[in-house]
Amino acid sequence: MSTIDYQYILTSIHDRMVHGAGPTAEDISSGHVAAYIPELASVEPDQFGMSLQCLDGSVHSAGHADVAFSVQSIAKVPALLLALTIDPDEVWERMDVEPSGNAFNSLFQLEYEQGIPRNPLINAGALVVCDILISALKRPLEELYAFVHALSGDPSISWNERVAQSERAASHRNAALVNLMKAFGNIHNEPDEVLDLYVRLCAMEMTCTQLACTFGLLANEGRTLHDGKALAPPVMVQRVNAVMQTCGFYDEAGEFAFRVGLPGKSGVGGGIVAIHPRYYSVAVWSPRLNERGNSHLGMRALELLTADIGHTIF
């Protein structure tokens, strides 16, 4: 790609999203926050932030890019990366890599497939990842966050315990998933221990700027953007990017690939992160969700981004 003024593009998208500027202005009031998690229901809904980080280390931001938010399912990706650095064979023996085509917490699909999650980015798959980390690590929670600190270069990143407790109290469906997999022999530790790690993974808080940097190694062939350290081999990065492309948005993955054309991952906290291999990583946050549980403005903003840049992975 020729020289691109990313800051101008992000500022223009922010104006269209928030200020109603131009013919493609968006309705910022569309959608609803994830009220089924009580702590997320209280988030101010009309916020919008966006941050893009290039491989040369330049950072371009707009709006509420430095406001921390609950990343939720986006955190499944660094957990997957850590598990793959420990034992990739075990990861792929215990889960598949196919799009689910169903809700992210589907029980009937899991039972039909005899306790093998369809992919690592649905809830069942992430629960198995947590189980793998518990078995392999002496201090799973601390070592998981230490890995995130290494990815991001920011040791301040942590989880919100209020969000974790709120999710844990409402984890009946996830409890059903983990117990069903335990019955099929695909959970090796105590279900409560797996759930406790899972909710503290999903309660991770980051800003868009931190998130874009954390995912930078997926755009940079396994090397972090902040110090260039190789934390994942290129082949692992390719596999994770492929899973994000096909499974990162649950039953809206096809729509995201069609409209945005980048691998990415969403979370019900309103965040979305996407990467363009060898070019940039980008994170966007707006709490109001569409009917499929993805950020309404975030999806549109990333569509505008790749349209304005004129380049996708396709």
Q: Which residues are catalytic?
A: 73, 76, 198, 250, 268
- Give the Cα separation of 242 and 244 in Å (integer): 5
- Give the Cα separation of 284 and 209 in Å (integer): 9
The distance from CA 22 to its chain's CA centroid, rounded to whole angstroms, is: 30
- Give the Cα separation of 26 and 274 in Å (integer): 21
In degrees rounded to 5, what are phi and psi of residue 231? Answer: -110, -5
The distance from CA 203 to its chain's CA centroid, rounded to whole angstroms, is: 12
> Could you identify the residue written with the tokens 């850590």?
82
* Helices 172-183 + 123-136 axis angle, to 10: 60
The Cβ-side half-sphere exposure at 101, using a 13 Å CA radius, reads: 4
- Give the Cα separation of 287 and 269 in Å (integer): 6
- Give the Cα separation of 135 and 68 in Å (integer): 31
> Could you identify the residue written with the tokens 């609803």?
32
- Give the Cα separation of 152 and 195 in Å (integer): 25
58-69: burial string, b at 16+ Cβ within 10 Å, e else: eebbbbbbebbb
Radius of gyration for the alpha carbons in the chain, expressed in angstroms and rounded: 18
Sheet strands (E) in 158-258: 158-159, 204-206
